[in-house]
Structure 1
Amino acid sequence: MSTVDILDEQERLVVETVRDFVDKDVKPVVAELEHANTYPESLIDQMKEMGVFGLTIPEEYGGTSVSTPCYVLVTEELARGWMSLAGAMGGHTVVSKLLLHFGTDEQKNRYLPKMATGEIRATMALTEPGGGSDLQAMTTQAHRDETGYVVNGTKTWITNSRRSQLIALLCKTDPAADPAHKGISILLAEHGPGLTVSRDLPKLGYKGVESCELSFADYRAPADAILGGTEGRGFAQMMKGLETGRIQVACRALGVGRAALEDALAYSQDRESFGKPIWKHQSVGNYLADMATKLTAARQLTLHAAHEADAGRRVDMEAGMAKLYASEAAMEIALNAVRVHGGYGYSTEFDVERYFRDAPLMIVGEGTNEIQRNVIASQLVARGGLDA
Structure 2
Amino acid sequence: MTTATPAATGARSATSGLAEDYLELDALLSADEIALRNRVRAFVGSEIAPHIAEWYESAAFPREITAKLGNLGVLGMHLRGHGCAGRSAVEYGLACMELEAGDSGLRTFVSVQGSLAMSAIHKFGSEEQKERWLPGMAAGELIGCFGLTEPTAGSDPSSMRTTARRDGSDWVMSGKKRWIGLASIADVAVIWAQTEDGVRGFLVSTEAPGFTATPIEPKLSMRASIQCDIELNDVRLPAEAVLPGVTGLKGPFSCLNEARYGIIWGAMGAARDSYEAALTYAGNRTQFGQPIAGFQTTQHKLVDMVLEIQKGTLVALRIGRMKDAGTLKPSQISFGKLNNVREAIAIAREARTILGGNGITLEHSPLRHANNLESVMTYEGTSEIHSLIMGQAITGLPAFR
Same fold judged by TM-score > 0.5? yes
Matched, 1:218 2:240: no
Find the counterpart in structure 1 of residue 283 from structure 2: 269
Find the counterpart in structure 2 of residue 76 from structure 1: 97
Find the counterpart in structure 2 of residue 179 from structure 1: none
In 2, Cα distance between the equivalents of 1:35 and 1:367? 27
Report if aligned partners of 1:72, 1:248 keep a CA contact under 8 Å in 2: yes
Q: CA deviation at 1:361?
A: 1.1
In 2, Cα distance between the equivalents of 1:55 and 1:106? 20
1:26 to 48, 57, 63: 48
Matched, 1:379 2:400: no
In 2, Cα distance between the equivalents of 1:267 and 1:47? 30
Indicate how the Cα distance of structure 1 residues 51 and 344 shifts in structure 2: closer, same or farther if over 3 A, else same: same
Equivalent position SS for 2:180: strand
Matched, 1:205 2:221: yes
> How do residues 335-350 of structure 1 correspond to structure 2 at under 5 angstroms?
335-350=349-364
Q: CA deviation at 1:314?
A: 4.4
In 2, Cα distance between the equivalents of 1:2 and 1:62? 35
Find the counterpart in structure 1 of residue 67 from structure 2: 45
TM-score relative to the length of structure 2 = 0.88
Report if aligned partners of 2:76, 2:119 keep a CA contact under 8 Å in 1: no
Q: CA deviation at 1:115?
A: 1.9
Segment of structure 1 superposing worse, 6-15 or 267-276: 6-15
In 2, Cα distance between the equivalents of 1:26 and 1:314? 32
Indicate how the Cα distance of structure 1 residues 166 and 3 shifts in structure 2: closer, same or farther if over 3 A, else same: farther
Find the counterpart in structure 2 of residue 143 from structure 1: 165
Gaps of 5+ in 2: 1-22
Matched, 1:61 2:75: no
User: Which string of whole-angstrom CA distances, capped at 9 and with x for unpartnered residues, describes residues 241-282 of structure 1?
Assistant: 111111122223112111101101111111122222212211
TM-score relative to the length of structure 1 = 0.91
Question: What is the one-letter code of the residue matched to 2:385?
Answer: I
Question: What is the one-letter code of the residue matched to 1:195?
Answer: F
In 2, Cα distance between the equivalents of 1:129 and 1:248? 25
Report if aligned partners of 2:77, 2:87 keep a CA contact under 8 Å in 1: yes
Matched, 1:160 2:182: yes
In 2, Cα distance between the equivalents of 1:113 and 1:234? 27
- Counting aligned pairs with the same residue, the percent is 28
In 2, Cα distance between the equivalents of 1:13 and 1:288? 28
Report if aligned partners of 1:57, 1:116 keep a CA contact under 8 Å in 2: no
Report if aligned partners of 1:153, 1:217 keep a CA contact under 8 Å in 2: yes
Gaps of 5+ in 1: 175-181, 384-388
Report if aligned partners of 1:5, 1:12 keep a CA contact under 8 Å in 2: no
In 2, Cα distance between the equivalents of 1:140 and 1:313? 34
In 1, Cα distance between the equivalents of 2:25 and 2:286? 32
Report if aligned partners of 1:363, 1:369 keep a CA contact under 8 Å in 2: yes
User: Which string of whole-angstrom CA distances, capped at 9 and with x for unpartnered residues, describes residues 292-348 of structure 1?
Assistant: 111121222222222222222342111111111111111100110111111111233
Matched, 1:189 2:204: yes
In 1, Cα distance between the equivalents of 2:88 and 2:283? 37
Find the counterpart in structure 2 of residue 128 from structure 1: 150
In 2, Cα distance between the equivalents of 1:163 and 1:5? 41
Report if aligned partners of 1:56, 1:97 keep a CA contact under 8 Å in 2: no
Matched, 1:328 2:342: yes
Find the counterpart in structure 2 of residue 366 from structure 1: 380
User: Which string of whole-angstrom CA distances, capped at 9 and with x for unpartnered residues, describes residues 15-56 of structure 1?
Assistant: 211111111222111111211112212333321221221412
User: Which string of whole-angstrom CA distances, capped at 9 and with x for unpartnered residues, describes residues 166-204 of structure 1?
Assistant: 222111012xxxxxxx72111122211110013433211
1:93 to 107, 114, 132: 114
- After superposition, the CA RMSD in angstroms is 1.9
Matched, 1:258 2:272: yes
Tell me the number of residue pairs that the alignment of Structure 1 and Structure 2 aligns: 373
Report if aligned partners of 2:68, 2:140 keep a CA contact under 8 Å in 1: no
Find the counterpart in structure 2 of residue 178 from structure 1: none
In 2, Cα distance between the equivalents of 1:26 and 1:234? 38
Find the counterpart in structure 1 of residue 13 from structure 2: none
Find the counterpart in structure 1 of residue 11 from structure 2: none
Find the counterpart in structure 2 of residue 289 from structure 1: 303
Find the counterpart in structure 1 of residue 8 from structure 2: none
In 1, Cα distance between the equivalents of 2:162 and 2:327? 32
In 2, Cα distance between the equivalents of 1:371 and 1:241? 17
Find the counterpart in structure 2 of residue 228 from structure 1: 244
2:141 to 111, 116, 119: 119
Equivalent position SS for 1:53: coil
